[in-house]
Structure formats: C-alpha cells, structure tokens
Chains A and B, each alone.
Chain A
Amino acid sequence: MTRAAVRQPTARAIFASFAMVGIGGFGGALPIFMHELVDRRRWLDRDEFAEILSLCQILPGPNVINVAIVFGMRAAGWRGALAGLAGMLALPVVIVLVLATLYSGFSDVPAVERATAAVASAAAGLICAVALRLAWPLAGRPLRLAIVLLVVALIVALRVPLVAIIAGMAPVGLALAAWEFRRGG
C-alpha cells in the first residue's frame, strides 16, 4: 500500500470508517468494505484492495477481519488495527445479541419474510458487483480469466471445498504471476 503515506488515516478515522462497515454489512461485509475503503475514503485503490483481500483470503481467520487488521496496522500501527476491529465488531456484536434476544417475536410476519427474501437477493447482487469490479482489470488477460472461470466452476458446479480450491489454484496463479514477472510484466 504505497499510497498510505499520502493519505494517513488516524486510528479514530479508521474506527469511524470501520463502524460504517460494521453496521452497513448486511448479508456480508465485503461490498460495503470496498465501498468505504475504495470509493468513499479513497484509502486504497481498487488494485490495492484486490491484493490485500487476496492475501487476507489465504491467511487463517475471516478475510474481512484480516483486512481490518492488516489495513489498520499498516495505516496506524497497533492502535489502527485495534480501531479497525473494534469499529467493525462492536456495534454488530451488540445488535446481534439484541436480535437473538428478541428473535422469536417477529420471524413469522409475512412482510418481514418478504423483506428478508428481497434483501437476500439484493445482497447477492452486491457481491456480484464486487466480483465484476475486481474482475475488470483482468478483462484483457485471458490466462487470469481462465483461472477465475475455473475457480467459479469448481465452487458452483463441483462444490469443491474451499481449502482444496485454494491449495490447488493458488500455485497456478502464483506460477502465472512469477512467469509474467520474470518476463518483465
């Protein structure tokens, strides 16, 4: 993240920003994460976001948690990392505990069921948008696109476990990147 030096978020700004990610992350934190860091705060550009997400994907632990730690640490040290985690989790933990305590009251109302179904479909659309935005730079690179399509097929059609996909496809992606790097790419 070479540009972090130019726009240095403080721990407080990280907390506030990640609090937005936390409470906005319905149906998954990834779309709002990208919106907040790349579009709104411009602390990362799309490619930096893709790279940090990719590394955090293979590290143990939830990917967005790892991104919060890595980004927070890079931007503002341990305080930044803790601010990122606290922002992302504090309110959601409170909300989910309140929801769990109340849940039996409203789950059967038809309007709630319809709203939930609509939100679930819309949330899927948000994830599609993230996938397309991240895929955009790969448009003119057929080998990379082939990897993307193969991974999609393994997940959707063959239901290969995630760990197996990562173990199998990470070396392919790395070999491709190493080959291009050596050729000056």
Chain B
Amino acid sequence: MADPLPELLAYLMMQSLLAIGGVSVILGELHRMVVASTGWLTEAEFATLFALAQAAPGPNMLFVTLIGWSVGGIGGAIAATLAFLAPAVVLAGAVARMWGSWQDRPWFVILRRGLVPLTVGLVAGSAILVANAAASGWTSYAITAAATAAVLTLRVHPVLVLGVAAVLGAFGAI
C-alpha cells in the first residue's frame, strides 16, 4: 500500500488556507477526508484524537498533529504540523513585513479598526457555543460565570482558574 503521508501533507497545506480562525471551521471537511474518503482514521479515532487535542494545552491545531501521528508516527506528527503551518508562515509573514510601511495608510487603519466588531462577535459567539457544549446543568453555567468574573474582577491567571475548576470538579465539589 502506498505511503499515505505525502498525500496527507499536501492535503493539510491546502486545508490550512481554508482554516480561517482555527481548525474548527474545517472539522467537517477533515472528517470527510480522513474518515469517510480515505479511511486513514476510524470514527472513534477521529473523535478521540479531537478530544485529546482539546484537552491538551496549546492551539487546537494540535488535532492536525495527531492526525499526522496516526498516519505516520512521530515523524508524521511533526511533518503534518509543519505542513499545516507553512501557508500561514508565508502569508502572515508577508503581512507582518508590510505592517510597518502600511501602518498609517488609511486603508490599513480602516481594515484594522473595521474588523474589530466582527472579531468581538466571533469570540463572544464561540464563548456561548463552548459554554453550551460544556454544560450539563445550571451548575456548569455557574462555573462559567464564576470563571468570567474571576478574570474580570480579580485578574486571576487563566491557568489558575482552570486548575481550581479541575480540583473542585475532581472532588465533586462542583
């Protein structure tokens, strides 16, 4: 059987161009390719690896890392990560290099400012979706509210908030 890794890497490079915002938007397409079309992963493996990528610290593009690991071991994991990063490095790198000379140009100022409400809406919308997905009852929403308040009023470090939640959850206190 032919080595699937090169095909996976080329596919990931293309998908990276569509992953506007994060891997969440291409999840459906990734599922179509790696489960339905090629069978590189089973349904169960896909779900498990996604949960692991969410549970582990770091950006959720780690899901791509795990797909690469599943297809080609540690080398596949690293190659998949680099392949997914490559388009972003080129494009974001180009934007970054031009930023200085574009800084005060009206069109760039308008672009930066004009997109902020959209971004705030996207973050707020995803906060609501995540809160709903994580919720198993009213206490879940209470935890969400408490975490929000802890950050906004007490400036508690995000990891400390999560650590307290983990400990209280493990002991059944919440």
Q: Is B123 an interface residue (CB 8 A)?
A: yes
Main secondary structure of the interface of A (DSSP, over half): helix
Residues from chain B with Cβ under 8 Å of A64 in the complex: 22, 59
Q: Is A83 an interface residue (CB 8 A)?
A: no
Q: Is B36 an interface residue (CB 8 A)?
A: no
A61 pairs with B87, CB closer than 8 A: yes
Chain A, residue nearest B152 (CB): A129
Interface residues of B (CB under 8 A from A): 16-25, 48-49, 52-62, 65-66, 69, 74, 77-78, 81, 84-85, 87-89, 91-93, 95-97, 99-100, 103, 106, 109-131, 133-136, 140-141, 143-148, 150-152, 155, 157-159, 161-162, 164-172, 174
Contacts A155-B126, A178-B110 known; 12 new A-B pairs at CB < 8 A: A65-B61, A92-B57, A93-B78, A117-B134, A117-B136, A121-B135, A122-B162, A128-B127, A152-B121, A152-B124, A155-B128, A181-B109
Q: What are 19 A-B residue pairs whose CB atoms fall within 8 Å in the complex?
A: A29-B58, A31-B151, A58-B20, A61-B16, A64-B22, A69-B89, A92-B56, A120-B130, A130-B123, A134-B120, A145-B117, A155-B129, A166-B20, A170-B118, A177-B110, A177-B113, A181-B106, A181-B109, A181-B113
